[in-house]
Structure 1
């Protein structure tokens, strides 16, 4: 046993030295250990048997940012315009996410979702969502007030759209399963490997990290909140700048969880890419309320008082940000007011659940959305994936990226294989 232990220790030391030695060569390096990067790695190990693949992540574990800090909703695709990447990925992704969770014994539940019109002026938008759902081939149903009350006794509205295929899961556990499967299929992973330098050469890409240097034929940038910086580090000028928006959540105190059975959403404002304050039952039984959307003063600004000067200067120095402010300052002011007032936050949720008060809310951890902002002040509303000879940059992967991670990863993997064959 001692000899076997020594042999194993020597093998681990050899493997570590090989990983960390200058000039380690791979076919593909994936930067970013969130759900999209790990789905890409998993897809590559299936699409390309025998590929030498490395995933590098700056944190000490997988999926610690957007992947962990979201509402856990498996989106159905009803919101997204026909022909958009969001629509095609979400429609396939929602079905396959349920299948993946079932296959790998991960927590999930197909709960259905109510999208509720709380006033008559929202009814035309609700009917457009109904028609869009039908165009997507979804089984959707319009409910009148008695039917709403039968499904969600404490929700009130003029009408609601029932989307039966929506559900819930724990996306961080999904991402960890992707990592496990990719490693089982031969992928190598470096945690605590912040990228320091990237050099693109005619024959490939050289990546310097805190763990060492590695060479690859292709680099895939799935760095989320830092995707534009990784692109710039590689000498590529991205089409947009990441501007971080903090989404703040409350959760219902245990005695108030009875107010919501599953997922209850407002009718979204088509002029703004955020869905508004909604109520979401999580797989652990808690009910989250939120999020709002306010400018974060740091890319990892999970608290309103977290400020990182570099991040803030980059945002304030970007002309597109001020064009966004001019266009949406009224909406932004309302979101900021709600950020500092539990009463206002509760009032927004009470449009859907009139019994809810601020006493029913307890603070819950916030998330930060990596939102790509175009120079003209428009928020990129679809996935943005750009490509050079040796690199693929995922510059905008908003919701429903977690739901759609399997088809997104496969699409990126096919691009990579096409670049190398």
Structure 2
């Protein structure tokens, strides 16, 4: 019998397990992951950025979690010797028409309490000599890290706290046993007082197994990247972002210097035909049919048809992808780029076609379901874990440890 069972061993599930162990040192905690390693999907395939929080609506969970999370993530990496760097980033306008949006972003950064500075094209070139722009913002608190290593450290710490970690264990059904719940898996059944669903790309399905309405459906979007060849890495010193289109839910293609010194360029954003579809040819009939039958998807597609077509073109045309990158760095040529890994984003979508823009945490009977944990979830993971624990009704037999 467990006190808490967490479904999903990505960075959010593991941070929740870590926070539970700190709050309830005597609790029996179980973390179940269907893959053979931790942080296998979204966490292990993201860009490794420690986000500042500049993009997010002031007062939103995203803004608060990200601002606080960036600080706690850096402190965590310092404490446990995990390689990271606070390198900062530039967000640049490449045309005069983008300058008002750049100014709005600057003001949002100020509202969110983030250290930002307006910089001229000449000042941008002092930081990133190969960028072409008409204006920019310097965001000082942005950093880079390997979130897979962070997640592995979370897992180690949970084990040290006495938690039970199970890989290769897929939850197939959830049923009641009196006041408790039983998780039926491919590796046996586990009884628990409280279930915490952090299943990412499958969070809506796990919620349904637990008789909880997720309030949204997960629609997977694949982000495809190229990587600069080693001899062209000098073109990018830190992180270079365009001004995002406020009407489109993705940030646009950008350059990211990773913690291993490689430089990734991208991503685009295209519908994945499989929830864990990292390649263009990946297809799952159930996943595809669910999206095609969902009215919310068609409403979203109609609203963003023009941008969606551009993303699809970038997916199939390297030349189109390169042209987007050349708006930031004109020197970049097709031969400077080689394909690298893709990631899949679990985007929660409502029936009316609107995206769930913030974190979505749904309460059930003796359960809690994280039904949307978009970027900056990795940056914010320690804060999200604490917030989830704060929402869980404390089992009466456990004493709460105050930190």
Q: Same fold (TM over 0.5)?
A: yes
Superposition map of 1:226-305 within 5 A: 226-305=202-281
Distance 1:383 1:419 in 2: 25
Q: Secondary structure at the match of 1:115?
A: strand
Aligned to 1:367: 343
2:97 corresponds, among 110, 121, 146, to 121
1:104 corresponds, among 47, 59, 80, to 80
Contact map agreement 1:115 1:162 (CA 8 A) in 2: yes
Deviations for 1:56-103, whole angstroms, at most 9, x for unmatched residues? 000111001000101000000010011100000000000111111111
Distance 2:195 2:254 in 1: 37
Bigger CA radius of gyration: 1
1:172 aligns with 2:148: yes
Aligned to 1:130: 106
Question: Which 5+ residue runs of structure 1 have no aligned equivalent?
Answer: 1-24
Aligned to 1:31: 7
Shift of 1:237: 2.0
Aligned to 1:88: 64
C-alpha RMSD of matched pairs (Å): 1.0
1:156 aligns with 2:156: no
TM-score (structure 1 length as normaliser): 0.93
Contact map agreement 1:200 1:390 (CA 8 A) in 2: no
Distance 1:374 1:387 in 2: 18
Shift of 1:202: 5.0
Higher mean C-alpha deviation, range 72-81 or range 134-143? 134-143
Cα distance change of structure 1 residues 203 and 217 upon mapping to structure 2, 3 Å threshold: same
Cα distance change of structure 1 residues 418 and 268 upon mapping to structure 2, 3 Å threshold: farther
Shift of 1:357: 1.3
Shift of 1:417: 4.6
Contact map agreement 1:385 1:395 (CA 8 A) in 2: yes
Q: Secondary structure at the match of 1:274?
A: coil
Aligned length: 397
Shift of 1:239: 0.5
Shift of 1:272: 1.5
Contact map agreement 1:249 1:292 (CA 8 A) in 2: yes
TM-score (structure 2 length as normaliser): 0.97
1:189 corresponds, among 165, 169, 187, to 165
Q: Secondary structure at the match of 1:68?
A: helix
Contact map agreement 1:389 1:419 (CA 8 A) in 2: no
Distance 1:26 1:196 in 2: 18
Shift of 1:418: 4.1
